[in-house]
Structure 1
Amino acid sequence: MLKSVLVFSLSMAAGNATAQQLFNSTRSNYSGLTGLSWNPAHVADNRYVVQLHLLAVDAHATNTAYRYTGAWSPQKSDEDLDLSKEFLTRRESDKAKLISAGLNVRGPGLMVRVGPKRGLAFGTRVRSAMQGNGVSENLLRNAVDGFKERGRSTDNTFNLNMNLFAEWNLTYGQVVLDNSEHFLKAGLTVKRLIGFGSAYLQSSKADYEVVTRTTATGDSTFRLNRLEAAFGYSNPRAFDDVTVENAVDLLTASGAPGAGWGADIGVVYENRPNLGQYRYIDKKGVERLDNSRNKYRYRLSASITDLGGLRYDKDAAAYNDIRATNTSVSEADLEGIDFDNFDTRLNRILRTQTHKRENRFRAGLPTALNLDVDYCLRRHLYANLSVSQGLRGRYAVGMRTFSFVALTPRFESNWLELAAPISLINGYQTFAYGVMLRMGGVTIGSNDLAPVFDSSKPYGFNGYAQLALSLANKGYKAKKHGPARLQKPGL
């Protein structure tokens, strides 16, 4: 199972759209509806009058255990993605490992400016992720090696989760303070969640031993000296074939086994020391602010996203107090575990028939604390420092955000934007660099470009694309006659 998770996550780098969002440049003033997932307060005093969001796709695969050294790369997609042991270079570290592969699809959505102080948005989204965290170094190494290393291993831990769900969300934001130099706005997103599949396998204590192949059994034996674990699932076959096309179809699907509610909440502060340069007098002689321009020297943003979770109570099974001692598992039992059989195979391996079964469980959302500082270097040029800290517990059931910090210089305007994030991802463990380009309503980019270069040995890959139709706020135009402006905008 652990080896299957690792291979699955690394294979997502091949560009198969079967992969949760890490992050993209949602801190831009022109990120529109996509940026609301970072902080819902951005819906107020937005640079757009209206935005019709058509489709966005964000796929990733990453891990902190192995680098890939094979022939495949994004520019050599015709090469086979060979994940044999000889093409995986292990990272020497005793720190627990994490694995993540996910697909985040944003469907149709609409964002509108409701006057100068309010904004409203409606959006849809589908997220799928296969993740592991707190995986012991020794356990993962043995799993990739096929448990060929004989001997005993104690104090092993792991938490594996698979989740697939859709959401319909509504966002409202409003300016709450505007006294010239100091500006504050707040926002709230409410989400209705539809769960299509979830599974988890976790252990806080795993003491195992690989016994030498015997004539009696015909293969080697994996002996569980002690295991304290939890295992649950609902509709595991939902993960068989997750693509962009069927992810969009899930937005209108019925009969889902899970449902729930979620929320995001956030505030944004802007320091505006030179507000006068953005004022003008319109043709009717009314003093107004130029809503087409950003007005801050620096901007501070704070939010908590993805509060809540889903409750699975249809076709669900949960064994949350598995305790096993001196249990033997054959090598044949461990081989060939996949999406079609992992529920029945793990039920047999864990002897779940001897444990209490519950018919429901809860899978949490990837709750995170998001903070960022955005500084205007000069008009169109900005530097952003952002931190996202995952708030899910080590053995929590459900999807999670792996913490990161990123420094992103960018050039932004209404029709053109270029950004180059430099970041530490995967719980601040992995260095990554990327690029983002937006031209009008088309956005493409990646936060982890290492696989593009032949000399790199990547831990994974990330890529995203977005298509939207947007109408930006208009700037004022000069008048030939009439009242003069209070102050000409600066450069």
Structure 2
Amino acid sequence: MCQFLFWSFLQRIKHPIPYPVKKHLLALFFINIAVTATAQSYMGYFHDNYAGVQSVLFNPAMIADSRFKTDINLFSVSAFAGNDLYGVRLFDVYKKGYDFDKEAKVTTRATNNAIGNVDVMGTSFMFNIAPKHTVALFTRARSIINVGRVNGNLVDDVKDGLDVAQSFKFNGNSPNGVGHAWGEVGLSYATVLVQQREHFLKGGLTVKYLQGGANAYVQGGDIGLTLVRNTIDPKLGSVTSNGEVTIGGSHDFEASQDLEFDINSAGVGFDFGLVYEWRPDYEDYDLRYARPLDNGFREFNKYKLRFGLSVTDIGGIHYRKSRQDTYNLNGVVTVDMIDNVDDIYDFLNANYNRITTTKGVRANLPTALHAEVDWNIANKYYLNLNGDISMVADNKLNGNSIANRLSLTPRYESRWFSFYVPVSWMEYSGMQVGSGLRVGAFFIGSGSVLTNLLSKQSKAADFYIGIKIPVYQKELKETCRPCYFSK
């Protein structure tokens, strides 16, 4: 019922939207949801050994044995949106004459989904406090939207309004949507745990103070809908519904239409990770450079294979001033009643029974498992295989989650320049190909830009950009081993 009311309301709001604009809204509701909104960020970039303080967001162990003495992030932002309902030629949507009906690819399912996030990293830095110990401090603002299990067949049927819709019947639908915005201040510590010949292991932990922002959610339970169209007077058509819908958030949305940030709500979050490196050529560094093996050679990438495993975003925020309404949707309304909705709460309260609670609600973080294998093919050429797996069920009430992803990223990496081409399979949006580069203090990229340039059926879009102050480890010259011992 909740998505049915949304689409009907979109078509019949008090100040009608011009028809061409409605077409764009329908197309971009899913593909550009992140603009209004975590989670996928910095795709392709964070595998780089020179990602610096950004790498701590995905695996806090990465900053130990870093190529940097210090890395200072001045500003960076990453945004992502994806869906499995609409596919469009992204750069043509705003062009004059674009025909949504003919050119957009609609893939309707009983459970269509969409996701979007925005991740802004403020002033942040990492530095070595000892040869084997590194810390980082970062600030971050995030927002994420999940829309799941929406009946795409129903959306397609009512996208032009109930007056022109054919009679239909849908049963057992349980849509789920949640949006959350919050801030973070994180402290990370990473250290070398094992350094024995070709085996190297490091670990890291992040503790985050979470500042509540705004949270809203809606979930349907076994909703059934039947529209009986009246051919003589479409406005007299009847809509019979059953099931229930739960609507809640960080403040009373019925009493106040203006979104208010709850600065009194807070929480704690955690990330932890491990990185193992296999260094079969460890003896070469000891022979070529006049330093003991345990010096670390932190200015070099020394592995042939790197394995990383981490869990991020454990924890949540408790909103004390929240309100939750559950409506029993058993009843019958007319098409005309829906068409004349000015306030969704007035409509629900007038036609359905409600149970209200104000006991507070906990908004979870999008907990995820990350695993990677990084292969140094030769010299400065690498190949990375990475998987991101959500650890939050898609039917969880008020539950944010990432989209599962598997990516393969070849890259060229050096101290002042890196270039990479991530090829990813993303849940909901399918295959995506992107590109990115890092030039000294500046980096920019996208995990989907090449797909969006070429495909007529793009279902995802993302970008990231940032600027920082990198302070690299000192690069020493080769010195013969006997010369070292003669000193």
* Pair in the same fold by TM > 0.5: yes
Unaligned stretches of 5+ residues in structure 1: 243-252, 487-491
SS at match of 2:143: strand
Please state if 1:45 is matched with 2:60: no
Please state if 1:130 is matched with 2:135: no
Q: Which residue of 2 aligns with 1:463?
A: 463
State the alpha-carbon separation in 2 of the partners of residues 195 and 456 from structure 1.
39
State the alpha-carbon separation in 2 of the partners of residues 349 and 185 from structure 1.
60
State the alpha-carbon separation in 2 of the partners of residues 221 and 83 from structure 1.
32
State the alpha-carbon separation in 2 of the partners of residues 304 and 88 from structure 1.
37
State the alpha-carbon separation in 2 of the partners of residues 473 and 347 from structure 1.
62
Please state if 1:54 is matched with 2:74: yes
What is the one-letter code of the residue matched to 1:229? V
Select 1:232's aligned residue among 232, 240, 248. 248
State the alpha-carbon separation in 1 of the partners of residues 341 and 466 from structure 2.
37
State the alpha-carbon separation in 2 of the partners of residues 404 and 346 from structure 1.
40
Deviation at 1:123, TM superposition (A): 0.5
State the alpha-carbon separation in 2 of the partners of residues 439 and 334 from structure 1.
54
SS at match of 2:356: coil
What is the one-letter code of the residue matched to 1:438? R
Q: Which residue of 2 aligns with 1:367?
A: 367
Please state if 1:168 is matched with 2:185: yes
Q: 1:333 to 1:34 in 2, by over 3 A?
A: farther
CA contact (8 A) 2:251 2:323 kept: no
Aligned length: 460
Deviations 1:383-432 (A, max 9, x none): 000000111112221321010000000011111000000010025x5010
Deviations 1:293-342 (A, max 9, x none): 1111101111111111111112x2113x54331243645546788xxx66
CA contact (8 A) 1:9 1:100 kept: no
Q: 1:43 to 1:71 in 2, by over 3 A?
A: closer
Please state if 1:193 is matched with 2:210: yes
SS at match of 2:385: strand
SS at match of 2:141: strand
Which structure has greater helix proportion? 2
State the alpha-carbon separation in 1 of the partners of residues 359 and 232 from structure 2.
41
Unaligned stretches of 5+ residues in structure 2: 11-21
Please state if 1:310 is matched with 2:320: no
Please state if 1:100 is matched with 2:107: no
Q: Which residue of 2 aligns with 1:156?
A: 173
State the alpha-carbon separation in 2 of the partners of residues 81 and 268 from structure 1.
52
Please state if 1:413 is matched with 2:449: no
State the alpha-carbon separation in 1 of the partners of residues 277 and 97 from structure 2.
47
Report matched runs for 1:338-357 at 5 Å. Answer: 344=345, 348=349, 351=352, 354-357=354-357
Deviations 1:117-147 (A, max 9, x none): 1110011111112221122333333353545
What is the one-letter code of the residue matched to 2:61? A
CA contact (8 A) 1:65 1:98 kept: yes
CA contact (8 A) 1:280 1:290 kept: no
CA contact (8 A) 2:65 2:296 kept: no
Q: 1:228 to 1:165 in 2, by over 3 A?
A: same
CA contact (8 A) 1:69 1:89 kept: no
Aligned residues: CA RMSD: 3.5
What is the one-letter code of the residue matched to 1:176? L
Deviations 1:214-247 (A, max 9, x none): 88994544321x113322012488xx999xxxxx
CA contact (8 A) 2:33 2:115 kept: no
What is the one-letter code of the residue matched to 1:209? T
Q: Which residue of 2 aligns with 1:247?
A: none
CA contact (8 A) 1:10 1:460 kept: no
SS at match of 1:405: strand
CA contact (8 A) 2:53 2:126 kept: yes
CA contact (8 A) 1:202 1:229 kept: yes
SS at match of 2:283: helix
Q: Which residue of 2 aligns with 1:430?
A: 430
Q: Percent identity among equivalent residues? A: 25
CA contact (8 A) 2:271 2:313 kept: yes
Q: 1:463 to 1:21 in 2, by over 3 A?
A: farther
